[in-house]
């Protein structure tokens, strides 16, 4: 066990790390226009939030489209051809094993041309949670070689309905076997209703405990009545079934309305509540933009919800076109989750990988896909950063950047980048990778330190004050391996890079 002194030291270190990350959110040069007044930075910011970041080539492509068309391409992702499925077929994965199931999704995030679709799957996975720890994974036997894969089926549902209406999503998840096992819906019987799903449906999924006025959105009696409405819902042979003989057909009063309600009726009633529009708008805003939004921030999303009958696609379009999304408050306002951190690095540096090391890395950083800690999902925010997870983050960066003869992950093509973009000076190298990884928003002190790092141990500059040329010819690979790699590592390990 840790001693009291050791615990105190770790707590002190954690608080210091959290403070450093918080300070990094305000570390851009305030003597110049805010970064999000620049169109390229706006699009880079959008791609980090509505996806997992982008390589230089991808960002150039989106910048050429412009902000409006970029938003449309992201939101209307069904119209974008994607080869992620073909890539997955090339890798031998056993989706009955948790690590391979996680790998398959991480590979989608890395290689998808529909980043918002995968980001929304992550959103729903964190809101409408289910976990392998309780749901379980398939265990094929000779007698039953193809048992149902409840988590994979739920995952496919989220992808297929990522931007559907809130009503369709809640109706589908209410009938989803993984959710039914997770919250005990399959043992919700007439005469002895189980309240687990009814409570979480209202508290976490659809309404929230209170509204913006602080008043309760539902009562304990509503929970009991909703539980009665869901009686008779069960699972047989891996699929949802309704058992009329086990359903409570009596009158029920839910949120002031009385009727012979079943679960479908309850969902339709819930999504019509003003609290549902506010709750989902807030969840989306805090996931994509920043915490504690104002009522003015949420109003465009609420309006889109009401106007379209709860279309999540319409709400996202309203969010990504909102001036507040590109405001100073939104910049570097979100700490990257472990998944966003790892996938973002791989995408930005165009690292070729089969994702074999990634599930272990994200899990050690605090985010095991398909296994959130509880029904509330991952707490996120500053909770992502502590002395242990910070070490895992920088160790991951080091592992990626020093890969040698790894059959699963290739080293980042840094020499190719240096040559392709003609990065012939120390200044060009620092500025290129700072632009790629930090929108160019680094302090003069940090930039000077990176230039000093490149110069250390190198031949003296012929003319002081002039840009310093990098080695060329046969000396270039060693310089890239020893120095450029180090610059990239220092940028990835910086507090600023932990922020989206």
Structurally, the chain folds into a number of domains equal to 1
**DSSP string computed for 39-52:** HHHHHHHHHHHSSS
Determine the Cα angle at 370 with ends 367 and 375, to 5°: 85
Output the CA–CA distances (angstroms, integers) from residue 229 to 191, 272, 483, in the order listed: 12, 17, 65
Tell whether the model's pLDDT for residue 1 goes beyond 60. Answer: no
CA distance 458 to 471: 9
Above 60 in pLDDT, residue 353? Answer: yes
In a domain, 151, yes or no: no
Residues 111/99, Cβ–Cβ less than 8 Å: no
**What's the CA gap between 124 and 121, in Å, rounded?**
5
Give percent of the chain above pLDDT 70. 95
What is the CA angle 192-198-200, rounded to 5?
A: 135
H helix and E strand count, the chain: 25, 4
Query: Do the beta carbons of residue 55 and residue 61 sit within 8 Å?
Result: no
CA dist., res. 222 & res. 255, Å (int): 6
Render pLDDT for 55-75 as a digit per residue (tens, 0 to 9): 999 999 999 999 999 999 999
Please state the separation of Cα 252 from the chain's center in Å: 38
- Rounded to whole angstroms, the Cα distance separating 227 from 185 reads 9
Which is nearest to 130 in space by CA: 337, 361, 364, 376? 376
The total of other beta-carbon atoms located within 10 Å of residue 236's CB is 10
Does a structural domain hold residue 382? yes
How far, in Å, CA of 448 to CA of 308, rounded? 52
How do residues 9-44 score in pLDDT, each as one tens digit? 556 667 776 777 777 777 777 667 889 999 999 999
Comparing 474 with 229, the larger pLDDT belongs to 229
What average pLDDT does this structure show over 239-251? 96
**How do residues 251-296 score in pLDDT, each as one tens digit?**
999 999 999 999 999 999 999 999 999 999 999 999 999 999 999 9
Residue 468 has pLDDT above 90, yes or no: no
Residue 448: give the domain boundaries: 338-498
Tokens of 23: 């300070």
pLDDT band at 465 (very low <50, low <70, confident <90, very high): low
Residue 85 lies in a domain: no
Rounded CA-CA distance 374/389 in Å is 19
The answer to whether residue 3 scores a pLDDT higher than 70 is no
Which pLDDT value is given to residue 6? Answer: 56
- So what's the pLDDT on residue 188? 96
Q: What is the DSSP letter of 31?
A: T
CA pair distance 264, 201, nearest whole angstrom: 12
How is residue 146 written in tokens? 């193809």
| pLDDT classification of 460: cutoffs 50, 70, 90 | low
Give the model's pLDDT for residue 7.
60
Q: Which two tokens stand for residue 320?
A: 């990504």
pLDDT digits (tens, 9 = 90+) for 365-374: 999 999 999 9
* Of the candidates 424, 423, 430, the residue with the CA atom closest to the CA atom of residue 452: 430
Sign, CA dihedral 165-171-172-174, equals positive
The CA-atom distances, in angstroms, between 144 and each of 93, 139, 147, 234 are 20, 9, 6, 21
Summarize pLDDT for 400-450 with one digit per residue, the tens.
998 877 779 898 999 999 999 999 999 999 999 999 999 999 999 999 999
Tokens (6 digits) for 185: 């819906």
Alpha carbons within 13 angstroms on the beta-carbon side of residue 193 total: 23
Give per-residue pLDDT as tens, 174-206: 999 999 999 999 999 999 999 999 999 999 999
The phi, psi pair for 414, rounded to 5°, reads -65, -40
Measure CA 473 to chain center: 42
Q: Is the alpha carbon torsion for 359, 360, 365, 366 positive or negative?
A: positive
Contact 325, 319 (CB under 8 A): yes
Q: Is residue 22 part of a domain?
A: no
Nearest alpha-carbon partner for 249 in 190, 319, 186, 322: 190
Q: Using CA atoms, how far apart are residues 500 and 489, in angstroms rounded to an integer? A: 17
Residue at 427 is within a domain? yes
Running DSSP on this structure, what letter comes out for residue 144?
-
Whether 364 is in a domain gets the answer: yes
Mean pLDDT across 144-162:
97
471 part of a folded domain: yes
pLDDT confidence of residue 462 = 45
Residue 329 forms part of a structural domain: no
- Lookup result for tokens 């200044």: 427
């Amino acid at each position: 066990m840790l001693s009291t002194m050791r615990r105190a030291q770790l707590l002190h270190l954690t608080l210091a790390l959290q403070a450093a990350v918080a300070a990094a959110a305000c570390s851009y040069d305030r003597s110049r226009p805010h970064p999000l007044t620049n169109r390229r930075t706006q699009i880079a910011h959008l791609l980090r939030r509505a996806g997992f970041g982008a390589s230089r080539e991808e960002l150039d492509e989106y910048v050429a489209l412009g902000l409006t068309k970029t938003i449309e391409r992201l939101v209307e992702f069904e119209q974008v051809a994607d080869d992620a499925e073909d890539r997955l077929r090339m890798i031998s994965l056993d989706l009955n094993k948790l690590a391979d199931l996680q790998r398959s999704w991480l590979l989608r995030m890395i290689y998808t041309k529909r980043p918002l679709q995968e980001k929304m799957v992550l959103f729903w996975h964190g809101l409408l949670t289910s976990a392998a720890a309780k749901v379980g994974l398939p265990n094929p036997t000779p007698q039953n070689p193809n048992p149902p894969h409840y988590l994979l089926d739920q995952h496919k549902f989220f992808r297929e309905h990522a931007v559907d209406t809130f009503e369709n999503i809640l109706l589908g998840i209410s009938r989803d076997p993984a959710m039914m096992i997770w919250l005990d819906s399959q043992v919700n019987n007439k005469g002895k209703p189980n309240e687990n799903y009814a409570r979480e449906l209202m508290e976490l999924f659809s309404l929230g405990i209170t509204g913006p006025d602080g008043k309760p959105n539902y009562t304990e009696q509503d929970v009991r009545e909703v539980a009665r409405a869901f009686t008779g819902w069960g699972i047989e042979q891996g699929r949802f079934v309704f058992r009329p003989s086990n359903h409570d057909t009596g009158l029920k009063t839910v949120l002031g309305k009385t009727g012979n309600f079943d679960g479908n009726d309850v969902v339709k009633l819930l999504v019509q509540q003003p609290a549902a529009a506010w709750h989902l708008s807030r969840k989306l805003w805090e996931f994509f933009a920043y915490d504690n939004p104002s009522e003015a921030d949420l109003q465009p999303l609420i309006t889109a919800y009401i106007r379209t009958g709860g279309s999540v696609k319409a709400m996202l379009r309203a969010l990504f076109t909102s001036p507040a999304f590109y405001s100073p408050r939104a910049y570097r306002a979100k700490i990257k989750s472990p998944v966003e951190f790892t996938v973002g690095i791989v995408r930005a540096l165009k690292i070729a990988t089969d994702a074999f090391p990634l599930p272990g890395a994200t899990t050690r950083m605090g985010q095991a896909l398909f296994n959130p800690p509880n029904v509330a999902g991952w707490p996120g925010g500053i909770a992502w950063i502590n002395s242990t997870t910070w070490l895992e983050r920088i160790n991951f960066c080091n592992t990626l950047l020093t890969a040698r003869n790894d059959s699963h992950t290739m080293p980042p093509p840094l020499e190719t980048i240096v040559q392709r973009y003609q990065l012939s000076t120390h200044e060009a190298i620092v500025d290129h990778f700072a632009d790629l990884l930090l929108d160019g928003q680094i302090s003069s002190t940090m930039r000077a330190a990176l230039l000093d790092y490149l110069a250390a141990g190198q031949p003296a500059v012929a003319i002081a004050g002039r840009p310093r040329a990098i080695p060329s010819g046969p000396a270039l690979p060693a310089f890239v391996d020893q120095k450029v790699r180090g610059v990239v590592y220092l940028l990835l390990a910086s507090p600023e890079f932990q922020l989206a």
